[in-house]
Chain A
Amino acid sequence: MNLNTLYLAVAGLVLAPLLGGLVAGVDRVVTAKLQSRMGPPLFQPFYDVGKLWSKVIAPASHWQGLFVRWALVASLASDVVLAAGGDVLMCFFVQAASASFVALGAFCGNSPYGKLGAQRELFQLLAYEPVFMVGILCMAKAAGGFDAFSIMAAQGQPLLFKLPLIVPGLLFAVLVKLRKSPFDIAASHHMHQEVVRGVYTDYAGRDFALLEIAHWADVTVVLWICSFLWATGPLQMLATGLVFLFAALIIDNISARLTWRTMLKTVAPLTLILATANLVWLYLE
Protein backbone atom coordinates (compact mmCIF):
# COMPACT_ATOMS: atom_id res chain seq x y z
CA MET A 1 0.00 0.00 0.00
CA ASN A 2 1.92 3.04 -1.16
CA LEU A 3 0.93 6.57 -2.02
CA ASN A 4 0.60 5.74 -5.68
CA THR A 5 -2.07 3.11 -4.96
CA LEU A 6 -3.89 5.67 -2.86
CA TYR A 7 -3.97 8.18 -5.72
CA LEU A 8 -5.23 5.52 -8.09
CA ALA A 9 -7.91 4.48 -5.60
CA VAL A 10 -9.15 8.05 -5.17
CA ALA A 11 -9.12 8.54 -8.94
CA GLY A 12 -11.19 5.37 -9.30
CA LEU A 13 -13.62 6.52 -6.66
CA VAL A 14 -14.25 9.87 -8.34
CA LEU A 15 -13.76 9.22 -12.03
CA ALA A 16 -15.35 5.80 -12.46
CA PRO A 17 -18.94 6.87 -11.70
CA LEU A 18 -18.47 10.01 -13.83
CA LEU A 19 -17.24 7.83 -16.66
CA GLY A 20 -20.26 5.60 -16.20
CA GLY A 21 -22.54 8.62 -16.41
CA LEU A 22 -20.82 9.66 -19.61
CA VAL A 23 -21.30 6.15 -20.97
CA ALA A 24 -25.01 6.46 -20.19
CA GLY A 25 -25.05 9.80 -22.07
CA VAL A 26 -23.29 8.31 -25.09
CA ASP A 27 -25.73 5.44 -24.93
CA ARG A 28 -28.72 7.76 -25.17
CA VAL A 29 -27.29 9.90 -27.96
CA VAL A 30 -26.19 6.91 -30.02
CA THR A 31 -29.50 5.14 -29.52
CA ALA A 32 -31.33 8.26 -30.70
CA LYS A 33 -29.09 8.51 -33.74
CA LEU A 34 -29.70 4.85 -34.55
CA GLN A 35 -33.42 5.65 -34.51
CA SER A 36 -32.77 8.78 -36.66
CA ARG A 37 -33.63 11.11 -33.80
CA MET A 38 -31.55 13.93 -32.38
CA GLY A 39 -31.59 12.67 -28.85
CA PRO A 40 -30.86 14.43 -25.56
CA PRO A 41 -27.70 16.34 -24.64
CA LEU A 42 -24.65 14.23 -23.76
CA PHE A 43 -24.93 15.19 -20.10
CA GLN A 44 -28.61 14.32 -19.84
CA PRO A 45 -27.99 11.43 -17.35
CA PHE A 46 -26.37 13.92 -14.96
CA TYR A 47 -29.38 16.23 -15.22
CA ASP A 48 -31.64 13.25 -14.53
CA VAL A 49 -29.74 12.37 -11.40
CA GLY A 50 -29.62 16.02 -10.33
CA LYS A 51 -33.36 16.25 -10.69
CA LEU A 52 -34.05 13.01 -8.85
CA TRP A 53 -31.77 14.22 -6.07
CA SER A 54 -34.08 17.08 -5.14
CA LYS A 55 -37.37 15.22 -5.43
CA VAL A 56 -39.32 14.82 -2.19
CA ILE A 57 -41.04 11.47 -1.73
CA ALA A 58 -42.02 9.00 0.96
CA PRO A 59 -40.00 5.77 0.80
CA ALA A 60 -41.74 2.51 -0.11
CA SER A 61 -39.99 0.71 2.73
CA HIS A 62 -38.03 1.73 5.81
CA TRP A 63 -35.15 -0.43 4.63
CA GLN A 64 -34.69 0.87 1.10
CA GLY A 65 -32.53 3.84 1.97
CA LEU A 66 -30.13 1.53 3.76
CA PHE A 67 -29.87 -0.96 0.92
CA VAL A 68 -29.46 1.78 -1.67
CA ARG A 69 -26.50 3.21 0.21
CA TRP A 70 -24.96 -0.19 0.69
CA ALA A 71 -25.35 -0.88 -3.01
CA LEU A 72 -23.68 2.43 -3.81
CA VAL A 73 -20.80 1.78 -1.44
CA ALA A 74 -20.31 -1.72 -2.86
CA SER A 75 -20.33 -0.47 -6.45
CA LEU A 76 -17.86 2.31 -5.69
CA ALA A 77 -15.68 -0.10 -3.71
CA SER A 78 -15.48 -2.42 -6.70
CA ASP A 79 -14.30 0.52 -8.82
CA VAL A 80 -11.69 1.40 -6.26
CA VAL A 81 -10.44 -2.19 -6.02
CA LEU A 82 -10.00 -2.30 -9.76
CA ALA A 83 -8.41 1.14 -10.01
CA ALA A 84 -5.92 0.33 -7.27
CA GLY A 85 -4.88 -2.80 -9.15
CA GLY A 86 -6.57 -5.19 -6.74
CA ASP A 87 -7.83 -8.72 -7.24
CA VAL A 88 -10.25 -8.76 -10.16
CA LEU A 89 -12.23 -11.70 -8.82
CA MET A 90 -12.77 -9.96 -5.48
CA CYS A 91 -13.73 -6.79 -7.34
CA PHE A 92 -16.36 -8.82 -9.13
CA PHE A 93 -17.69 -10.33 -5.89
CA VAL A 94 -18.00 -6.86 -4.39
CA GLN A 95 -19.85 -5.71 -7.48
CA ALA A 96 -22.20 -8.71 -7.23
CA ALA A 97 -22.93 -7.70 -3.63
CA SER A 98 -24.18 -4.39 -4.95
CA ALA A 99 -26.63 -6.19 -7.24
CA SER A 100 -27.80 -8.26 -4.26
CA PHE A 101 -28.53 -5.13 -2.27
CA VAL A 102 -30.58 -3.66 -5.11
CA ALA A 103 -32.67 -6.83 -5.22
CA LEU A 104 -33.02 -6.90 -1.43
CA GLY A 105 -34.28 -3.33 -1.35
CA ALA A 106 -36.87 -4.24 -3.96
CA PHE A 107 -37.95 -7.27 -1.89
CA CYS A 108 -38.52 -4.95 1.07
CA GLY A 109 -40.74 -2.62 -0.93
CA ASN A 110 -44.48 -2.87 -1.25
CA SER A 111 -45.16 -2.93 -4.97
CA PRO A 112 -45.61 -6.34 -6.61
CA TYR A 113 -43.81 -5.01 -9.70
CA GLY A 114 -40.75 -4.32 -7.60
CA LYS A 115 -40.77 -7.82 -6.16
CA LEU A 116 -41.25 -9.39 -9.57
CA GLY A 117 -38.28 -7.33 -10.70
CA ALA A 118 -36.26 -8.52 -7.71
CA GLN A 119 -36.87 -12.17 -8.63
CA ARG A 120 -35.84 -11.46 -12.19
CA GLU A 121 -32.81 -9.50 -11.05
CA LEU A 122 -31.68 -12.58 -9.17
CA PHE A 123 -32.17 -14.80 -12.20
CA GLN A 124 -30.13 -12.34 -14.24
CA LEU A 125 -27.42 -12.51 -11.61
CA LEU A 126 -27.56 -16.29 -11.85
CA ALA A 127 -27.26 -16.13 -15.63
CA TYR A 128 -24.36 -13.74 -16.12
CA GLU A 129 -22.31 -14.15 -12.96
CA PRO A 130 -20.85 -17.61 -13.69
CA VAL A 131 -19.86 -16.82 -17.26
CA PHE A 132 -18.33 -13.50 -16.27
CA MET A 133 -16.44 -15.20 -13.47
CA VAL A 134 -15.14 -17.86 -15.85
CA GLY A 135 -14.09 -15.02 -18.14
CA ILE A 136 -12.06 -13.52 -15.31
CA LEU A 137 -10.56 -16.93 -14.52
CA CYS A 138 -9.52 -17.22 -18.19
CA MET A 139 -7.89 -13.79 -18.10
CA ALA A 140 -6.10 -14.63 -14.87
CA LYS A 141 -4.87 -17.93 -16.28
CA ALA A 142 -3.69 -16.34 -19.52
CA ALA A 143 -2.00 -13.46 -17.72
CA GLY A 144 -0.68 -15.47 -14.77
CA GLY A 145 -2.24 -13.50 -11.93
CA PHE A 146 -5.52 -12.36 -10.50
CA ASP A 147 -4.71 -8.72 -9.80
CA ALA A 148 -5.64 -6.05 -12.30
CA PHE A 149 -2.08 -4.81 -12.71
CA SER A 150 -0.62 -8.16 -13.68
CA ILE A 151 -3.46 -8.76 -16.14
CA MET A 152 -2.79 -5.37 -17.71
CA ALA A 153 0.97 -5.80 -17.58
CA ALA A 154 1.06 -9.25 -19.16
CA GLN A 155 0.17 -8.02 -22.58
CA GLY A 156 2.91 -8.58 -25.08
CA GLN A 157 0.09 -9.78 -27.23
CA PRO A 158 -3.54 -8.82 -26.52
CA LEU A 159 -5.42 -11.40 -24.45
CA LEU A 160 -8.15 -11.46 -27.08
CA PHE A 161 -6.12 -13.81 -29.26
CA LYS A 162 -5.92 -16.33 -26.45
CA LEU A 163 -9.48 -15.81 -25.26
CA PRO A 164 -11.79 -15.41 -28.27
CA LEU A 165 -14.47 -17.69 -26.83
CA ILE A 166 -15.14 -15.58 -23.76
CA VAL A 167 -16.24 -12.63 -25.89
CA PRO A 168 -19.89 -13.79 -26.22
CA GLY A 169 -20.03 -14.31 -22.46
CA LEU A 170 -18.60 -10.87 -21.72
CA LEU A 171 -20.96 -9.26 -24.20
CA PHE A 172 -23.87 -11.07 -22.56
CA ALA A 173 -22.78 -9.72 -19.18
CA VAL A 174 -22.44 -6.20 -20.61
CA LEU A 175 -25.96 -6.38 -22.03
CA VAL A 176 -27.34 -7.53 -18.70
CA LYS A 177 -25.44 -4.96 -16.67
CA LEU A 178 -26.38 -2.11 -19.02
CA ARG A 179 -29.97 -3.38 -18.74
CA LYS A 180 -30.25 -3.58 -22.52
CA SER A 181 -32.54 -5.60 -24.76
CA PRO A 182 -32.75 -8.60 -25.10
CA PHE A 183 -31.80 -8.88 -21.42
CA ASP A 184 -33.54 -5.87 -19.85
CA ILE A 185 -35.55 -8.48 -18.02
CA ALA A 186 -35.45 -7.20 -14.46
CA ALA A 187 -35.84 -3.47 -14.96
CA SER A 188 -37.33 -2.98 -18.40
CA HIS A 189 -35.20 -0.28 -19.92
CA HIS A 190 -37.95 1.07 -22.14
CA MET A 191 -41.16 2.55 -20.93
CA HIS A 192 -44.54 1.02 -20.31
CA GLN A 193 -43.84 -2.63 -20.07
CA GLU A 194 -45.55 -5.27 -18.03
CA VAL A 195 -43.05 -5.01 -15.19
CA VAL A 196 -43.27 -1.17 -15.12
CA ARG A 197 -39.70 -0.50 -13.99
CA GLY A 198 -39.21 -3.89 -12.38
CA VAL A 199 -36.65 -3.91 -9.64
CA TYR A 200 -36.50 -0.08 -9.71
CA THR A 201 -40.26 0.47 -9.35
CA ASP A 202 -40.22 1.23 -5.64
CA TYR A 203 -37.09 3.37 -5.61
CA ALA A 204 -37.72 7.06 -6.06
CA GLY A 205 -36.30 10.48 -5.40
CA ARG A 206 -32.84 10.66 -3.88
CA ASP A 207 -32.64 6.89 -3.34
CA PHE A 208 -33.17 6.38 -7.05
CA ALA A 209 -30.53 8.99 -7.86
CA LEU A 210 -27.99 7.17 -5.71
CA LEU A 211 -28.95 3.89 -7.33
CA GLU A 212 -28.33 5.44 -10.73
CA ILE A 213 -24.84 6.48 -9.64
CA ALA A 214 -24.25 2.94 -8.39
CA HIS A 215 -25.36 1.69 -11.78
CA TRP A 216 -22.84 3.97 -13.51
CA ALA A 217 -20.10 2.61 -11.30
CA ASP A 218 -21.17 -0.95 -12.16
CA VAL A 219 -21.13 -0.23 -15.86
CA THR A 220 -17.61 1.15 -15.59
CA VAL A 221 -16.39 -1.95 -13.77
CA VAL A 222 -17.89 -4.33 -16.29
CA LEU A 223 -16.64 -2.44 -19.34
CA TRP A 224 -13.26 -2.01 -17.71
CA ILE A 225 -12.88 -5.73 -17.12
CA CYS A 226 -13.95 -6.34 -20.72
CA SER A 227 -11.29 -3.92 -21.90
CA PHE A 228 -8.59 -6.18 -20.41
CA LEU A 229 -8.98 -8.18 -23.60
CA TRP A 230 -6.86 -5.62 -25.44
CA ALA A 231 -4.91 -3.86 -22.73
CA THR A 232 -1.74 -2.96 -24.61
CA GLY A 233 -2.26 0.71 -23.67
CA PRO A 234 -4.83 3.07 -22.18
CA LEU A 235 -6.17 4.14 -25.58
CA GLN A 236 -6.53 0.56 -26.73
CA MET A 237 -8.38 -0.26 -23.52
CA LEU A 238 -10.73 2.66 -24.05
CA ALA A 239 -11.33 1.54 -27.62
CA THR A 240 -12.05 -2.03 -26.50
CA GLY A 241 -14.54 -0.77 -23.92
CA LEU A 242 -16.24 1.37 -26.57
CA VAL A 243 -16.43 -1.58 -28.95
CA PHE A 244 -18.29 -3.58 -26.31
CA LEU A 245 -20.55 -0.60 -25.61
CA PHE A 246 -21.46 -0.05 -29.25
CA ALA A 247 -22.01 -3.74 -29.83
CA ALA A 248 -24.42 -3.70 -26.90
CA LEU A 249 -26.23 -0.62 -28.23
CA ILE A 250 -26.68 -2.12 -31.66
CA ILE A 251 -27.97 -5.39 -30.23
CA ASP A 252 -30.31 -3.39 -28.00
CA ASN A 253 -31.81 -1.62 -30.97
CA ILE A 254 -32.33 -4.64 -33.16
CA SER A 255 -33.70 -7.10 -30.64
CA ALA A 256 -36.80 -7.62 -28.54
CA ARG A 257 -36.73 -8.73 -24.94
CA LEU A 258 -36.28 -12.41 -24.13
CA THR A 259 -37.94 -14.17 -21.24
CA TRP A 260 -35.89 -15.09 -18.19
CA ARG A 261 -36.44 -18.75 -19.03
CA THR A 262 -34.74 -18.38 -22.41
CA MET A 263 -31.93 -16.46 -20.77
CA LEU A 264 -31.40 -19.06 -18.08
CA LYS A 265 -31.95 -22.17 -20.20
CA THR A 266 -30.30 -21.20 -23.48
CA VAL A 267 -28.13 -18.11 -23.42
CA ALA A 268 -26.44 -18.67 -20.07
CA PRO A 269 -25.43 -22.32 -20.67
CA LEU A 270 -24.30 -21.59 -24.21
CA THR A 271 -22.00 -18.71 -23.27
CA LEU A 272 -20.79 -20.64 -20.24
CA ILE A 273 -19.88 -23.66 -22.34
CA LEU A 274 -17.91 -21.45 -24.75
CA ALA A 275 -16.05 -19.75 -21.93
CA THR A 276 -15.33 -23.07 -20.23
CA ALA A 277 -14.02 -24.47 -23.49
CA ASN A 278 -11.67 -21.51 -23.69
CA LEU A 279 -10.50 -22.13 -20.13
CA VAL A 280 -9.81 -25.81 -20.79
CA TRP A 281 -8.04 -24.87 -23.99
CA LEU A 282 -5.69 -22.59 -22.01
CA TYR A 283 -4.81 -25.58 -19.84
CA LEU A 284 -4.14 -27.86 -22.76
CA GLU A 285 -1.73 -25.37 -24.29
Chain B
Amino acid sequence: MFGSFLKTSQVKSPWLLHFDCGSCNGCDIETLACLTPVYDVERFGIINVGNPRHADVLVVTGTVNQRNAVILKNLYDQMPSPKLVIAVGACGCSGGVFREAPNVLGGIDKVIPVDVYVPGCPAKPEAIMDAVVTGLAKLKGILEASK
Protein backbone atom coordinates (compact mmCIF):
# COMPACT_ATOMS: atom_id res chain seq x y z
CA MET B 1 0.00 0.00 0.00
CA PHE B 2 2.84 2.32 0.95
CA GLY B 3 4.56 1.48 -2.33
CA SER B 4 1.51 2.25 -4.43
CA PHE B 5 1.00 5.49 -2.50
CA LEU B 6 4.57 6.48 -3.33
CA LYS B 7 3.99 5.62 -7.00
CA THR B 8 0.80 7.69 -7.14
CA SER B 9 2.53 10.55 -5.39
CA GLN B 10 5.21 10.71 -8.06
CA VAL B 11 2.69 11.86 -10.64
CA LYS B 12 0.45 13.87 -8.37
CA SER B 13 2.93 16.45 -7.19
CA PRO B 14 4.92 17.93 -10.07
CA TRP B 15 6.94 20.90 -8.88
CA LEU B 16 8.04 23.18 -11.70
CA LEU B 17 11.27 25.05 -12.09
CA HIS B 18 10.82 27.72 -14.70
CA PHE B 19 13.97 28.89 -16.46
CA ASP B 20 13.91 31.79 -18.90
CA CYS B 21 16.71 30.84 -21.23
CA GLY B 22 16.67 33.98 -23.37
CA SER B 23 13.00 34.23 -24.21
CA CYS B 24 11.29 37.41 -25.39
CA ASN B 25 9.12 37.00 -22.23
CA GLY B 26 6.04 36.14 -24.27
CA CYS B 27 6.15 32.49 -23.24
CA ASP B 28 7.11 33.47 -19.67
CA ILE B 29 3.98 35.53 -19.31
CA GLU B 30 1.91 32.63 -20.60
CA THR B 31 3.66 30.22 -18.23
CA LEU B 32 2.97 32.43 -15.25
CA ALA B 33 -0.61 32.85 -16.43
CA CYS B 34 -1.06 29.16 -15.58
CA LEU B 35 -0.79 30.07 -11.88
CA THR B 36 -3.60 32.62 -12.01
CA PRO B 37 -7.13 31.82 -10.84
CA VAL B 38 -8.24 31.39 -14.45
CA TYR B 39 -6.02 28.35 -15.07
CA ASP B 40 -5.03 27.44 -11.47
CA VAL B 41 -2.43 24.72 -12.07
CA GLU B 42 -2.31 24.03 -8.34
CA ARG B 43 -5.40 21.87 -9.02
CA PHE B 44 -2.92 19.27 -10.28
CA GLY B 45 -0.63 19.77 -7.31
CA ILE B 46 1.69 21.87 -9.43
CA ILE B 47 3.82 24.41 -7.59
CA ASN B 48 6.27 26.81 -9.13
CA VAL B 49 9.51 26.51 -7.13
CA GLY B 50 12.68 28.55 -7.38
CA ASN B 51 15.14 25.83 -6.50
CA PRO B 52 16.27 23.00 -8.80
CA ARG B 53 16.89 20.75 -5.81
CA HIS B 54 13.15 20.74 -5.12
CA ALA B 55 11.95 20.58 -8.72
CA ASP B 56 10.61 17.66 -10.76
CA VAL B 57 9.85 19.41 -14.02
CA LEU B 58 12.10 21.91 -15.75
CA VAL B 59 10.10 24.32 -17.90
CA VAL B 60 12.39 26.19 -20.26
CA THR B 61 11.37 29.10 -22.45
CA GLY B 62 13.54 30.74 -25.09
CA THR B 63 16.62 29.80 -27.08
CA VAL B 64 19.88 28.54 -25.71
CA ASN B 65 22.92 30.70 -26.39
CA GLN B 66 26.63 30.45 -25.67
CA ARG B 67 26.31 32.25 -22.35
CA ASN B 68 23.37 30.50 -20.75
CA ALA B 69 23.93 26.95 -22.00
CA VAL B 70 26.17 26.20 -19.04
CA ILE B 71 23.58 27.52 -16.59
CA LEU B 72 20.80 25.49 -18.19
CA LYS B 73 22.95 22.37 -17.96
CA ASN B 74 23.85 23.14 -14.37
CA LEU B 75 20.21 23.62 -13.34
CA TYR B 76 19.27 20.38 -15.04
CA ASP B 77 22.08 18.54 -13.27
CA GLN B 78 21.04 19.90 -9.90
CA MET B 79 17.52 18.50 -10.22
CA PRO B 80 16.91 15.16 -8.54
CA SER B 81 15.80 12.28 -10.75
CA PRO B 82 13.32 11.21 -11.97
CA LYS B 83 12.88 14.50 -13.81
CA LEU B 84 11.11 15.91 -16.86
CA VAL B 85 12.07 18.71 -19.23
CA ILE B 86 9.48 20.72 -21.13
CA ALA B 87 10.57 23.05 -23.91
CA VAL B 88 8.05 25.86 -24.26
CA GLY B 89 7.52 27.91 -27.40
CA ALA B 90 9.04 27.94 -30.84
CA CYS B 91 12.35 29.24 -29.53
CA GLY B 92 12.66 26.57 -26.84
CA CYS B 93 11.77 23.83 -29.32
CA SER B 94 14.07 24.80 -32.14
CA GLY B 95 15.58 28.25 -31.64
CA GLY B 96 12.66 29.83 -33.52
CA VAL B 97 13.43 32.98 -35.46
CA PHE B 98 16.76 33.30 -33.66
CA ARG B 99 18.17 29.92 -34.69
CA GLU B 100 20.58 31.41 -37.25
CA ALA B 101 21.94 34.10 -34.90
CA PRO B 102 25.68 33.71 -34.31
CA ASN B 103 25.47 33.38 -30.52
CA VAL B 104 22.50 31.02 -30.49
CA LEU B 105 22.95 27.27 -30.21
CA GLY B 106 19.34 26.47 -31.08
CA GLY B 107 16.58 24.68 -29.16
CA ILE B 108 17.25 23.50 -25.65
CA ASP B 109 17.56 19.90 -26.79
CA LYS B 110 21.03 20.89 -27.97
CA VAL B 111 22.06 20.98 -24.30
CA ILE B 112 19.73 18.73 -22.29
CA PRO B 113 17.28 15.95 -23.21
CA VAL B 114 13.71 17.24 -23.70
CA ASP B 115 10.63 15.14 -22.89
CA VAL B 116 7.81 17.33 -24.16
CA TYR B 117 7.82 20.09 -26.78
CA VAL B 118 5.17 22.85 -26.62
CA PRO B 119 4.85 24.70 -29.93
CA GLY B 120 3.50 28.23 -30.33
CA CYS B 121 4.74 31.79 -30.39
CA PRO B 122 3.88 32.35 -27.63
CA ALA B 123 2.66 28.97 -26.37
CA LYS B 124 -0.85 29.01 -24.92
CA PRO B 125 -1.33 28.33 -21.17
CA GLU B 126 -3.62 25.39 -22.02
CA ALA B 127 -0.86 23.90 -24.14
CA ILE B 128 1.70 24.30 -21.36
CA MET B 129 -0.59 22.62 -18.84
CA ASP B 130 -1.29 19.87 -21.32
CA ALA B 131 2.44 19.39 -21.75
CA VAL B 132 2.89 18.89 -18.01
CA VAL B 133 0.10 16.33 -17.95
CA THR B 134 1.57 14.54 -20.98
CA GLY B 135 4.96 14.60 -19.31
CA LEU B 136 3.52 13.04 -16.17
CA ALA B 137 1.91 10.29 -18.25
CA LYS B 138 5.31 9.65 -19.73
CA LEU B 139 6.86 9.59 -16.28
CA LYS B 140 4.18 7.13 -15.15
CA GLY B 141 5.07 4.93 -18.09
CA ILE B 142 8.74 5.03 -17.12
CA LEU B 143 7.91 4.15 -13.52
CA GLU B 144 5.65 1.26 -14.64
CA ALA B 145 8.40 -0.03 -16.90
CA SER B 146 10.99 0.15 -14.16
CA LYS B 147 8.77 -2.02 -11.95
Contact = CB atoms under 8 A, between A and B. Distances in A.
SS of B interface (majority): mixed
Interface centre among A47, A51, A203 (most CB of B within 10 A): A51
A113 B5 CA distance: 32
Given A39-B42, A204-B80, A53 B50 contact: no
Contact of B10 (A44, A54, A196, A202): A54
A197 interface: yes
Contact of A40 (B45, B48, B56, B81): B45
A41 interface: yes
13 contacts: A32-B40, A37-B40, A38-B43, A39-B42, A44-B13, A47-B45, A48-B15, A50-B6, A54-B9, A55-B81, A192-B48, A196-B51, A200-B54
Contacts of A244: none
Interface in A50-73: 50-51, 53-57, 60
A285 B99 CA distance: 80
A193 B50 contact: yes
B53 A191 contact: no
B80 A197 contact: no
Contacts of A205: 80
A36 B82 CA distance: 33
Contacts of B53: 57, 60, 201-204
A35 B37 contact: yes
B71 interface: no
A205 B80 CA distance: 7
B103 interface: no
A208 interface: yes
Contacts of A56: 80-82
A57 B80 contact: yes
Contacts of A46: 5, 9
Given A197-B49, A197-B51, A51 B56 contact: yes
Top 10 A-B pairs, shortest CB-CB distance: A50-B9, A57-B80, A204-B53, A47-B12, A55-B80, A51-B13, A37-B40, A51-B9, A192-B50, A47-B9
Label chain A's interface by main secondary structure: loop
A204 B5 contact: no
B45 A39 contact: no
Given A39-B42, A200-B54, A203-B53, 18 more contacts: A37-B40, A46-B5, A47-B12, A47-B45, A48-B13, A48-B45, A51-B12, A53-B6, A54-B6, A55-B81, A191-B50, A192-B50, A196-B50, A197-B49, A197-B50, A201-B53, A205-B80, A208-B54
Interface residues of B, number: 25
B144 to A, nearest CB: 14
Given A51-B9, A55-B81, A56-B80, A191 B47 contact: yes
Interface string B3-40: 00110111011010000000000000000000001001
Contacts of A47: 8-9, 12-13, 45
Nearest to B2: A50
Contacts of B37: 35-37
A56 to B, nearest CB: 5
B116 to A, nearest CB: 19
B9 A53 contact: yes
Nearest to A54: B6
Contacts of A49: 9
Nearest to A56: B81
Interface in A112-128: 113
Contacts of B80: 55-57, 204-205
Nearest to B52: A204
A28 interface: yes
Contact of A50 (B8, B50, B82): B8
B33 to A, nearest CB: 13
Contacts of B82: 55-56
